[in-house]
Amino acid sequence: MSDIKIPAAADILDLILDAVFVVDRHGRLVYVSAGCFDLLGYRPHELVGTYMIEMVHPDDRGRTLSAVWKIMAGDPSIRFENRWKHKDGHDVPIQWSARWSEKHQMRVAVARALR
């Protein structure tokens, strides 16, 4: 088994068709998978370091922050919906699943477009 090479986690996550986001405890995006380009039109490096809430449609921000606090309190969320801004300006309805890691002080979320 020593001849098996295990790829880096980011390389594996970039194979997922849905977008994967890792957000620090302050709401800053620390990792964005390649699936973000198909979903939102952004390359991952364009979003890393920005605040997640800035991408959320203004009408959905309050509800989104309420969901974030519940997730960070230990209540994973499945099928949460909100809208994010696409790079070209239109709104993208998204369905999320997300979980908080107290150990890593990070929230991991998977997003897919609602169509």
CB 109 within 8 A of CB 20: yes
**What pLDDT is recorded for position 29?**
97
Range of the domain at 79: 9-113
**pTM (2 d.p.):** 0.89
**Is position 28 within any domain?**
yes
Instruction: Classify residue 4 by its DSSP letter.
Output: P
CB 109 within 8 A of CB 21: yes
Residue 90's domain is classified under what CATH number? 3.30.450.20
Structural domains of the chain, count = 1
Q: Name the residue with tokens 């890792």.
A: 22
Whole-number Å distance between alpha carbons of 19 and 25 = 19
Whole-number Å distance between alpha carbons of 52 and 26 = 9
Range of weakest confidence among 13-17, 83-87, 100-104? 13-17
Residue 14 above 90 pLDDT?
A: no
User: In angstroms, how far is the first alpha carbon of the chain from the final one?
Assistant: 43
**Is position 2 within any domain?**
no
Residue 1 vs residue 28, higher pLDDT? 28
pLDDT range class, residue 11, cuts 50, 70, 90: confident
Residue 112: CA atoms inside 13 Å, Cβ hemisphere, count?
8
